[in-house]
Amino acid sequence: MQTSTLFNKLSILTFRAFFGPFLATFFLTLFILVMQFVWKYIDDLMGKGLEFTVVAELLLYATANLVTLALPLGILLASIMTFGNMAEKYELVALKSSGLSLFRIMRPMLILVCILTLSAFLFSNYASPVANLKFKTLLWDVTEQKPALELKDNIFYNGIEGYSIRVKSKDNETGQLNDVLIYDHREENKGNTYVIRAEYGFMSKSANGQLLLLTLYNGDSYEEVAKNPRMVSNFPHVRNNFKKQIISFDLSGFNLTRSDENLFKQGYQMLNYRQLEHVADSLDQVKERKIESYLGYLERSICLTADSAVLKEPTSPATFGHLYDSDVNNIIIMAQNQIRNAKAYAQRTDYEDETRQKTINRYRVEKTRKVSLSLACIILFFIGGPLGAIIKKGGMGMPVVFAVIFFLVFHVLSMSGEKMAIANVVSVHTGMFLSYFVLVPIAIFVTIKANQDSALFDAASYQKLLSKIPLIKKTVK
């Protein structure tokens, strides 16, 4: 009864001790990954005049895509810090002395980690594809968005289709544009046939915001009226002076247009587990049909006659000699052409088959990733919890170092295995679970050592072990 009460209290305490570091690490990791995304696409976002809601929506979708990557690191660091604090304050010693094993002490947190693992899989299977679809669609729209209208001194601005505008200087307080020069290029391949120059001007938007109004003062315009200047000896033109002139520009091209999400719906990152498997199986069937078509082509194009030794009625040598003497050149040329065609077709088929297999691997890699990233939460928990009990250090010092090291090992091996799986160097399951071949033995080892209260990181124990070696013992003396 006392042990059960102690276990219930232990569950509450471990939940409280685990949740704080887990949430802090999880959101910090998400923030770092989002900042990495911002720096990656900073050139596509700057100078577009995007509204805050559009940028916030883009960051929200990017954050949703990074949840499954930040979750394992949060569990790893939180488990190291929780058990490190418990070991540092001798709480683990007290619990073990009361009859609780390390596995039973870890059970409340293990239940929570299993719930998080299942939640991570469900999130990556249902929420991530939707977030990926909306993210890719919005990112495409943002990258295709024209830069915001911004005139710089003595630099031609060509953002408005059909016009090239240059201002000598701009007054930031009044908005006055001095010495405005405009080239009208709306008619292609006509050159600078229509030019406007004004002493100064002002920019404003129309009431509906769809037009940009450029009001010019004290200027003149020059226009060549010849339909084909190359066919005439003189060049008639029209020159006008004006006190005030208003030019309107269409701003509809500067508005963010939303693309149809169905255009991006078949990407491998936009599908759930069943959809990925269905697409991969369909591509496998297409690949098999292509191979069957290739083999049928070889059978039709390259036909080997039976050996003369098995012919029922052997033909006389004179007949063969006459045929050889008359048609040998044509036969050799036809055979060479046929072999060249077959070789080219084989090379093209091999390249198409390799490309198609890489596409199939991408779909199967994405499908397996949903499982591998989710199970990583459990594997890293069985590394972090026992490791914290062994190092006996809490806080943000040593636990952070170990967490970063093991997470880098996991991430590097996962990325390397994924690339090898896509390139068809190894099987998809081998590549996607490559990190497990390294981390699972480590998890088993540190769990056993922590359960045995082994001094795995105690320097004194290693010095004592090394002192027993004769050569090192003499050196120490």
Which DSSP string do the residues of 164-192 spell out, in sequence order?
A: EEEEEEE-TTT-PEEEEEEEE--STT--S
Q: Tell me the domain boundaries of the chain.
A: 2-145+369-476, 163-254, 273-306+316-361
pTM score of the predicted model:
0.68
Residue with tokens 């290029």: 185
Distance separating alpha carbons of residues 247 and 195, to the nearest angstrom: 13
Each of the 477 residues of the chain gets a pLDDT tens digit; together they read: 455 555 555 566 666 667 777 777 778 777 877 777 777 777 666 656 677 787 788 888 888 878 888 888 888 888 888 888 888 888 777 777 777 777 888 888 888 889 989 998 999 888 888 888 888 888 777 776 655 566 778 888 776 777 788 888 887 777 788 888 888 877 765 666 778 888 888 887 777 666 777 888 888 887 776 655 555 556 666 777 888 888 877 666 555 566 666 676 777 788 888 888 888 888 888 888 888 887 877 777 665 554 444 444 554 444 444 444 456 677 777 777 878 887 888 888 888 888 888 888 899 998 999 999 889 999 999 998 888 888 877 667 777 787 888 888 888 999 999 999 988 888 888 999 999 999 999 999 888 888 877 766 555 554 555 566 665 555 544
Q: Take residue 395 and report the two structure tokens written for it.
A: 């806080």
Distance separating alpha carbons of residues 432 and 71, to the nearest angstrom: 18
Residues 6 or more apart in contact with residue 174 via CB below 8 angstroms: none
Q: Say if CB 236 and CB 230 are below 8 A apart.
A: no
Which DSSP string do the residues of 205-257 spell out, in sequence order?
A: E-TTSSEEEEEEEEEEEEEE--S-GGG-SS--EEEEEEEEEEEEEE-GGGSPP
